[in-house]
Amino acid sequence: MNVRSFSGTLFFGIAAGVGFPGFSLLTAPVLGGAGAFQVWVALGAIAYAALLGIGWRERIIGAFTASAFVVPAALLADGIVGLIAGAALAVAVARSYLLGTDRIARTIAIETVLAVFGFAFVRSLGGAGLFPIALAIWGWFLVQSLYFLIGGGLPRPTASGDVDAFDLAHERANAIMETD
């Protein structure tokens, strides 16, 4: 599976949302309900970051990068909100590194907007119970999939500093063909 596209991220979100109730029912007796959710969020961020990579080397780098942010957030955060913020940061850093964005200010702006909108959207969807939590997980990845629609994955500029329009069109066409 490749999550380097709108549809790839959307399908990953569906799988993460659908998978959460089963995971929670299996692990809640040992971890508790909140613990099961925290582990699922951490694993989801790590898996998503890994699937952003192409090939095993990039996938290991993505997983390691996400783990470097998610594990400390899980250990140091006071509650679920801190863990979710750490997971959002992990995904943003891994995505920025693996997709090779050179426009730092633009990337920070896009990731900030997605994080704020994602938190607001998740808050409106979430609630008590497995179904609202699963819906909120899917909703977060729905918002993350917007990254590819608003041009977050632009190619690196050429040596002259310009992005070649042909290369841009070629990459977008390849992304569309990958989704079919």
CA 145 to chain centre: 8
Lowest mean pLDDT among 35-49, 73-87, 142-156: 142-156
Tens-place pLDDT, residues 69-121: 998 888 887 777 888 888 888 988 888 888 876 777 888 888 888 889 988 88
Instruction: State mean pLDDT over 50-68.
Output: 91
35: tokens are 């613990």
28-42, 46-60, 156-170: segment of lowest average pLDDT: 156-170
Q: How far apart are the first and last CA of the chain?
A: 12
Q: How confident is the model at residue 46 (pLDDT cuts 50, 70, 90)?
A: very high
Q: How far is CA 166 from the centre of its chain?
A: 28
Nearest to 75, CA basis, from 86, 88, 91: 86
Place of tokens 């959307």: 10
